Structure 1
């Protein structure tokens, strides 16, 4: 007990300076962290956060594997961000009924729209299973062998969970760079229906101009509903007979607002951070990952934009693709800027000197953690990693033809290895997200760009095909692919292991891509293993050196909690402020004729000018507050995460980070890093005054 008190006091002495940093797992939340949360304004006992059936975490969901959502009603309404619901909204849109552009409001439950492939997952429990996995024999395995071993153990554990309850399953993931392994149990609902979306002008207000920027006025939300089996209230495949899910817990919505310094807490599913990453890894990220990504996406986005501006039908098809591409294009630009301006690499290098001194003085991991070897292995991998980024952006995240070609070849190989017994594959119709002219131009431009950007040894065999059979004429090669291949034909059957398939030029291209990437992975497999081991040792050394302080693991799309306060930040002599209001968005809307990112329909402008904000107006500022800042610690995947006050009441939805701290995935700067949130009163205001969604407002207030 005495040692615990000492640890808590030591931790609190440090954490007072950085209470805003940390992505904490809930099942083993350190007592010192919980005590600090209470000191800053949390009014809930720990059991109400995690430990029982009525815990707040049971209202928070993994939204379709890429975002977070929160249940806000006894009938299974889920709030998430507009950009998280973007593809669902787009998929239901047509030129005649453009829900993406004009918004959507289901007037009755029968009008709520099903979404194929979407889901929400509830985290049921989590526990440490390190002892079952991290054996001496496991540590000697290659990365590939480790993956197979973890998959095998995960299958056994998941089967055990499913036997007890067939609607549940388990996942096993590494934490602390593979020094720990946790098992998480989930329950997933696959019948998720679109209920409400604001106009694109509001749900995406500011567009790429304001993306990752502050101040913001984006009403970034959409509303879905979970449907369940009418007999069990449990998960069920989509059926018209399903009924709204009745959760045991839903988040209470507060319209009381917040003020500067108020407690703010976020629960969600941050996708990935690399705070323990070495200085060598950060340099690789900057130069071999981010820089090539930006270069290729510049090309792809310019092509999409050209066609989207010219044709409304193409805009609808490519809206989601463009937004997805542009988001981390701008993130990569901002991250590289911060890596340099905040001098993160020199900071890491100085910290690594301290770690080396600790290892040398204590003997812990001495001769095992070796910074010279780590540096050498990263140097050997650099050009491979750079070429891999160009390859992924060109052939896996570029033209649909290239991606499909690769997938067809992959399917054939699985069949030949007896891992797939199908006679043929029918790929889904992608007509609503594909245009041949756009795709052809994108493939042509990125093929040529890849040739210019990488060394000759990183060119797949298809470049010899272009050189030898098409005399170096890229345009002729691309025309040949689209005219002679069947792989992009609508609902075409791709027969496995047939001569007709093997002669298909798309299939041949896919094989060339597969041969290349398989060979490259084999070349650097041992280097990857060595680097991963060194990064794991580095993390272990940090944990041992700072063993009297709690440490959170890097994000890995498992539920985390972050706490802090509402508040702005200073850049030089400029204070950011901590909220935006209706006046500020109207000023931007005045620029809408010059910048389409600031366009808003006259109806919405008139609505905001009317000053008819009712109970949604803040009682302290007497303004209609739109978005606000907190110093919570989030990353991609946290989009749509609920922002709670000290009572566990919903005050907003997290939707972005700020430009001045876009390096927070690798280095959290407590002075600059902020979370941008949409005020829940702004959400309700749009549902009420624009959508006239009385039935939904009343449901939330139940």
Structure 2
């Protein structure tokens, strides 16, 4: 503990106190010295120890990473977990069927026995963190190649993780910050018995669909609820009917008093990735080369999924989760292109780098920093066209179930064919299960169309150097892969479970190596991962130079950013409830919230995105809002704050100054879509579900008051 405190004091010396209150994703261990005073001025009533403590329960103990990609929070003494609907989407879809379509119709467990266990779902509790920068950097030196540096660091990381996992009790992760200039290790505890408690119908949980995604005003019940189970002693355990609800160290009280403009708001969560230290060349590459390809490839995949999804509920269930994931980033990347272009972010960064380059070439700095900017720019110039190519190919892999089949099921069949009879007998059940799982999540006619359309797009637009087999087939088929894909599916081992079974009965390496989908996807994957010696050297030089750029920007104080990029580690961000300029699309008196009446105005009967349950329409007409009505008599649905968040913060709790739950973060606004690269102090907003709307949907609309009764409600 003494060592930890000494580090905190020394680290503070590096960071000026004058930071913008609403910008930054901050480590909890530094809150007291870096942020606490500013937060108190804005309305925080908690001590730093009540937010982060390694000896006593604190807010951090109520915040969990949800299934590796979202955030969630404990909201009852019996392990009740709240997160976004879109975070629970995969699990809800998995538990649904055409007969019991919980995704479409919603679900609320009447008792603990009715809570449903998906096949794979976990939550991760944060235990503690500490600095290991000196230890990690002691094993490297400036003469090392990036590959050798990485090898040495990984070896030291393995030691640190083993030293702190207490014989496997904890998961330990060492992460780099400030582009590898600092390192910290994080200790976590994972719980894998997590069960669905309830979800609103998709018409509420995903109201507005892709049209409203990233937009304000929003009217979405983006929440779902789960419960964490443990063994009788409160320890993690595999699923068992003998497990009991977890008694968390801390859970959040729920405040239904409502929010108003300039109220203090803080968010704790696991932001996934920001790139605010990215050089100008990287921003330019994304805007002009990488992201346009990403957008076009995503849209191609989505269009070909959608035409089957609308045919039946069963087909919609198969592709709903994949479509939602692709669509989310499709709109995000287009928003990034627009925002980064509009605000000239690359130009701003280039001006900063020019200033840095001048500083770097002063006599005292030249040896270390003099070539940093030219080396970085050289790398981006070399890889611009490749980034476009790679993004077209990446979207093919992402949207086609067969795009990477040679590395998944194909690799297993390859190993099976090479094994002896005894080993094959051991391998067969797992391979068959993999094939069955794969085919339960696809529809062959759709997969044919997706793959053919993506190959057509890739061959036409990717430029650079195409994968050899794709280039050959494009010439032979005038750029239209439809006939080839249909024939390949007719011949391939991978396109039915029965064919996989037949291969297991009579394995043949020769048959596999001539399988058209195996050959095609293997060719594409090899091409995607290939790096020339020239590129390898350029990447090596770039990695070292980028690290030096960040180090130099901090040393010279030319860089204005005082916090590390997000990388899926627990952070705190704080700000206020804050409106956007008046918007005629929003019926609210102040443009920092929306109402149920506004949601009903968007209603379109039978529409895939804007339909609503009849009961919602009836309850709105009668103003049946119960104790969740605002003082103005309306039911508030979503509200805005100016917190600094990104992907991974989905499901994060929005807390008032007392640490009480007032909302659930779920989105950002498209006007500030460049937020992952540059924070916009005027426009950046977080869109949140008002906790009163969440509870209204559970108690009043769904009749699941017993769930609300578990919570500690503050009026």
Give the match for residue 3 of structure 2: none
Return the TM-score normalized by structure 1.
0.92
Matches of 2:359 and 2:411, distance apart in 1: 47
Secondary structure of 1:638's match? coil
Give the match for residue 543 of structure 1: 554
Give the match for residue 481 of structure 2: 474
Matches of 1:130 and 1:241, distance apart in 2: 43
Say whether 1:443 aligns with 2:446.
no
Give the match for residue 376 of structure 2: 374
The CA deviation at 1:506 is: 2.7
Give the match for residue 107 of structure 1: 110
Gaps of 5+ in 2: 1-5
Matches of 2:391 and 2:418, distance apart in 1: 28
2:85 to 77, 82, 85: 82
2:472 to 442, 447, 464: 464
Indicate if the aligned counterparts of 2:301 and 2:450 stay in contact, CA closer than 8 A.
yes
Gaps of 5+ in 1: none
Matches of 2:413 and 2:521, distance apart in 1: 10
2:72 to 55, 69, 73: 69
Give the match for residue 180 of structure 2: 178
Secondary structure of 1:225's match? strand
Indicate if the aligned counterparts of 1:11 and 1:548 stay in contact, CA closer than 8 A.
no
The CA deviation at 1:37 is: 1.1
| 1:49-80: CA deviation from partner (whole Å, max 9, x where unpaired) | 11133110110001001100001011101000
Secondary structure of 1:27's match? helix
Give the match for residue 60 of structure 1: 63
Matches of 1:417 and 1:365, distance apart in 2: 56
Give the match for residue 601 of structure 1: 613
Give the match for residue 316 of structure 1: 317
Secondary structure of 2:351's match? helix
Matches of 2:256 and 2:226, distance apart in 1: 21
2:391 to 389, 392, 399: 389
Residues 500-579 of structure 1: matches in 2 within 5 Å? 500-520=511-531, 524-546=535-557, 551-570=562-581, 577-579=591-593
Residues 618-657 of structure 1: matches in 2 within 5 Å? 618-619=630-631, 621-657=632-668
Indicate if the aligned counterparts of 1:409 and 1:511 stay in contact, CA closer than 8 A.
no
Q: Judging changes above 3 Å, is the alpha-carbon distance between structure 1 residues 339 and 76 closer, same or farther for their aligned structure 2 residues?
A: same
Indicate if the aligned counterparts of 2:70 and 2:650 stay in contact, CA closer than 8 A.
yes
Matches of 1:415 and 1:551, distance apart in 2: 52
Indicate if the aligned counterparts of 1:90 and 1:99 stay in contact, CA closer than 8 A.
yes
Matches of 2:450 and 2:167, distance apart in 1: 47
Give the match for residue 489 of structure 1: 496
Q: Judging changes above 3 Å, is the alpha-carbon distance between structure 1 residues 218 and 138 closer, same or farther for their aligned structure 2 residues?
A: farther
Matches of 2:321 and 2:584, distance apart in 1: 38
Q: Judging changes above 3 Å, is the alpha-carbon distance between structure 1 residues 573 and 580 closer, same or farther for their aligned structure 2 residues?
A: closer
Say whether 1:660 aligns with 2:666.
no
1:678 to 676, 682, 689: 689
The CA deviation at 1:136 is: 6.4
Give the match for residue 461 of structure 2: 453
Identify the range of structure 1 (532-541 vs 60-69) with the bigger mean alpha-carbon deviation: 532-541
Secondary structure of 2:248's match? coil
The CA deviation at 1:367 is: 4.8
Residues 357-372 of structure 1: matches in 2 within 5 Å? 357-361=358-362, 363-364=364-365, 366-368=367-369, 369-372=371-374
The CA deviation at 1:311 is: 2.3
Indicate if the aligned counterparts of 1:296 and 1:446 stay in contact, CA closer than 8 A.
yes
Q: Judging changes above 3 Å, is the alpha-carbon distance between structure 1 residues 365 and 673 closer, same or farther for their aligned structure 2 residues?
A: farther
The CA deviation at 1:322 is: 1.0
Give the match for residue 298 of structure 1: 299
The CA deviation at 1:182 is: 1.1
Return the TM-score normalized by structure 2.
0.90
1:133 to 127, 133, 136: 136
| 1:151-203: CA deviation from partner (whole Å, max 9, x where unpaired) | 333332222223x2532120111111111111111100111111110011110
Give the match for residue 187 of structure 1: 189
Indicate if the aligned counterparts of 2:77 and 2:247 stay in contact, CA closer than 8 A.
yes
Q: Judging changes above 3 Å, is the alpha-carbon distance between structure 1 residues 522 and 112 closer, same or farther for their aligned structure 2 residues?
A: farther
Secondary structure of 1:192's match? strand
Matched pairs, number: 687
Identify the range of structure 1 (293-302 vs 130-139) with the bigger mean alpha-carbon deviation: 130-139
Matches of 1:548 and 1:526, distance apart in 2: 27
The CA deviation at 1:208 is: 1.0
The CA deviation at 1:27 is: 1.8
The CA deviation at 1:657 is: 0.4
Give the match for residue 434 of structure 1: 442
Q: Judging changes above 3 Å, is the alpha-carbon distance between structure 1 residues 516 and 109 closer, same or farther for their aligned structure 2 residues?
A: same
Q: Judging changes above 3 Å, is the alpha-carbon distance between structure 1 residues 270 and 461 closer, same or farther for their aligned structure 2 residues?
A: same
Indicate if the aligned counterparts of 1:169 and 1:187 stay in contact, CA closer than 8 A.
yes
Matches of 1:356 and 1:350, distance apart in 2: 10
The CA deviation at 1:29 is: 3.2
